[in-house]
Amino acid sequence: MKVLVTRALTRRVEETLAAEFDVTFRNRPEPMTLAEAQAALADYDAILPTLGDAFGTQAFAGPVKTRMIANFGVGYNHIDVEAARAKGVIVSNTPGAVTDATADLAMTLILMSARRAAEGERLVRTGQWTGWQPTQMLGLHVSGKRVGIIGMGRIGKAIARRCHYGFGMEVVFHNRSTVADPGVPARQVPLAEAMGADVVVVAVPGGPATRHLIGAAEIGAMQPHAHLVNIARGDVVDEAALIAALQARRIAGAGLDVYEREPEVPQALRDLDNVTLLPHLGTAAEEVRDDMGMMAVANLRAFRDGITPPNAL
């Protein structure tokens, strides 16, 4: 089976792919363009793409030889799944493997934003720190506060466990469907109430249904001392509305691992001291990327062998 891999993967995953498939490694850091995606769909039996690769509606307008897209990652808003299905293409993703790493990163951002860690690190690096003072860089004490989790899937539940059992936080959450067992003592509440927590964490899937779910009105429901953390997809949060709130100090801070037009990060956002900015590190640990890659391989292997891929969408 002729397979295209759109980005460099870990050694273990690439060696496994090379041993089992007729594989081409694109090995370029930037996402595939629309023209590249169209050419790949016309030439390969299967494609292993990832975040940002342009497999939207237009990619499927031309001839399609591909019968399997094994996405590397749990998020797949860069793929038009319905357009793929219409052309007879199976799409899969890699859920589960990313859960704990992404939840850990959410906690990193909660603490960095609440305790102003990025701002403090810059203070030391630039030589502006003049020594300890009782009122220097006072932040939010996280322990015992209320966290509002937007999206109570695998990752949302993992964040809830860390917040409740690790920091004694009260958990409220908003989810489009009823969650019978959130895994910790927690209340399911309307979105506006969840946005009123001390710390708000966005953990919903990306896609048209959640684009700008967190807009000016939702950010306006936040408390002045509160922090917003996004580890979902960048366009779930209206970036312009968030920038306006941060500039006006209507909220205390934000921690972001994803951006609306990634990898573009607006200069206005980079100029702010009250936001922590990370370069999409949610799953950036070798063993996690190994697990993600091997899950994608398992999906490809099943398809090759005439079996429904275990993570078909």
Q: Of 211, 225, 262, 304, which is the active-site residue?
A: 262
> Measured between alpha carbons, how far is 15 from 66 in angstroms, rounded to an integer?
22
Tokens 């690790």 sit on residue: 166
**To the nearest 5 percent, what fractions of the chain are helix, strand and coil?**
35, 15, 45
CA 126 to chain centre: 31
Enter the tokens of residue 103: 């939840």
Reported as half-sphere exposure (CB side, CA atoms, 13 A), residue 290 has a value of 6
Dihedral, CA of residue 242, residue 246, residue 250 and residue 253, to nearest 10: 100
Active-site annotation holds for 193: no
Which candidate, 133, 175, 171, 117, places its Cα nearest to that of 150? 175
* Dihedral Cα 23, 29, 30, 32, nearest 10 deg: 0
Reply yes or no on whether 286 is catalytic: no
Would you call the peptide bond into 49 cis, given omega within 30 degrees of 0 as the criterion? no
Question: Does the annotation count 233 as an active-site position?
Answer: yes
- Cα end-to-end distance, the chain, whole Å: 21
Q: Among the options 26, 174, 233, 301, which is catalytic?
A: 233
Q: Which residues of 201-235 are buried (b: 16+ CB within 10 A; e: fewer)?
A: bbbbbbbeebbebbeeebbebbeeebbbbbbbbbb
Of residues 211, 212, 280, 304, which has the active-site annotation?
Answer: 280
Hey, which residues are catalytic here? Answer: 233, 262, 280
